[in-house]
A and B are shown apart, each in its own frame.
Chain A
Amino acid sequence: MPAVGRTYWLTEPCRIRREDNSVRVERQDGSPVRIPITDIRDLVVFDHVDVNTSALSLLSRSGVTLHVLDHYGNHAGHFSPAESMASAAVVRRQVEITADEEQRLAIGRSLVLASAQNLRWSLDTDLLDPALDSLNAALPGCGSSEAIMGEEGNFRRTAWAVLDQRLPPWLRLNGRTRRPPTNAGNAFISYLNSIVYARVLTALRSTPLHPAIGFLHADTDRRRNTLALDLAEPFKPLFAERLLRRTAHQKHLKQNDFETDVGRASLSKDGRKKIAALVREELATTVYHRSLKRKVSYEELIHLEALKIVRLCLEGQPYKPFRPWW
């Protein structure tokens, strides 16, 4: 089902107003751009944006979410419509399933395993096979979410070390850091992860699920929507690590796309634009889906993932986390 409307990525400082049933985007240079509200599914804001209330109420009425990313690419917050698609019947089941320790841990384990396998897939290496084997061996013994996340952390450290070998020295991660990221590589990963999180949140908003009732992350983890964090996991390697490797290989990102300080790094203006273009293109990439019998974009894959959780809640169909099949 091709979605109505598209995502708009605002990478420059601008002002958003309402003009009849259009959103009028005024940039500092050039004439204003008018976008019909029916053409917008959501807005992702990368830079300083002024919004007024009449624009917000138009967005709300048409079910448009506005995501705000801060200077370091963290998800600073979002504005979402007053009416949500949430349904009591589904949320009730969601609570029941997540309250059942066994089911919750089983799904948490499968999420971590799938993310690890996806990471191995995206790095396209067999150097990670031993780490994957030990993760596979350790997971069944994990009796709590923290233990599962700990095992994931071990695997990720190995994976990032492997990734570092394929990056130019200035883009290496040298261990994952965030809030704020300390170097260019970490800034890139943080940025991409935030975007994936925002995409998952948008996808969840179009389902009857509650985005804060999840399986793997702690309920108050980073004070964010747990289910969105969970479902973002298997998609992060598809976007963050894979794109980092690709941009490094193609020399697409330059050192001056980042503003590096002592102990902190963020993307420069041009860097943000480059990444927005990169991600937009990536989200529109399509692959053939065998049971839907049509091409689906990466963006839709996230939506289909959210629907799997709806199926789990409504019909008890077992949840299999996303694995790339191509």
Chain B
Amino acid sequence: MSPSADPLSDGAAPVGGVHITYLVHCPRQLWLYARGYRPEQRSDLVAFGEVVNETTFPRRRDVDLGEAKIDWVTTGAVVHETKSSRAPAPAHSAQVRHYCLLLERRGVNVRGGVVHYPLVRRTVDVLWDDDARTRAEDAEADAQAVIAAATAPERLTRDQCRGCSYLDYCWGD
């Protein structure tokens, strides 16, 4: 990730899709991720997600924006995102909205987004309008605030940490 990846961000840390997902799921996770603790490699769930990503929609190509990597974009600028999860989560649509925002800043006329859940063969549409734009911008600002904080945010309750690859770090006392 080069420091000048996004000329439009005013010197603050570039925020990618992972940052937004982590922000919505758990700010503490985002804080640790930004400081270089990245245990995802060791997580079976993450490895599973990668396999789902590779084996579904194989003809589509990644769009690499530097700070973010969009799963694929179709004509009319619809942003697509594949999730190995079986249930929609707020973090998924927030991530798509962030991609829409990043594309729009690059001068693309974005129409909206779709989250695909290939394991349950469902899709969820993500609207892109003024309201969504505000929410995306707020999320980006929140993420930057969390990253800049001097101390780590509190951990979530134990049951909310299920399946998180940061669990060993936060609870392994």
A and B together in one complex: yes
Name A's B-contacting residues (CB within 8 A).
Answer: 1-4, 38, 63, 85-90, 206-208, 289, 291-293, 300, 303-304, 307-308, 310-311, 314-315
Contact A292 B171 (CB under 8 A): yes
Q: How far, in angstroms, from A291 to B167 measured CA to CA in the complex?
A: 10
**B37 contacts across to A, CB distance below 8 A:** 87, 90, 207-208, 310, 314
- For the complex of A and B, the 5 pairs showing the least CB-CB separation, nearest first, are A87-B36, A208-B36, A304-B172, A89-B35, A3-B42
- Against A, the Cβ 8 Å flags (1 = close, 0 = not) of B105-116 are 000000000000
Contact A1 B165 (CB under 8 A): yes
Contact A304 B35 (CB under 8 A): no
Contact A90 B36 (CB under 8 A): yes
Chain A residue nearest to B172 (CB atoms) is A304
Name B's A-contacting residues (CB within 8 A).
Answer: 32, 35-39, 41-44, 47, 151-152, 158, 165, 167-169, 171-173
User: Known: A1-B167, A291-B172, A292-B171. Contact between A87 and B35, CB under 8 A?
Assistant: yes
User: Known: A90-B35, A90-B37, A315-B151. Contact between A292 and B168, CB under 8 A?
Assistant: yes
Of B43, B44, B168, chain A has the most CB atoms within 10 Å of the CB of: B168
Chain B residue nearest to A90 (CB atoms) is B36
User: Known: A207-B37, A314-B152. Contact between A4 and B168, CB under 8 A?
Assistant: no
**B41 contacts across to A, CB distance below 8 A:** 4, 63, 85, 206
From B32, B152, B168, B173, A1 is in contact (CB under 8 Å) with B168
Contact A4 B151 (CB under 8 A): no
User: Known: A2-B44, A63-B41. Contact between A86 and B172, CB under 8 A?
Assistant: no
Contact A1 B43 (CB under 8 A): yes
Contact A292 B167 (CB under 8 A): yes
Contact B168 A304 (CB under 8 A): yes
Q: How far is the CB of A166 from chain B (nearest CB, A)?
A: 34
Q: How far is the CB of A184 from chain B (nearest CB, A)?
A: 37
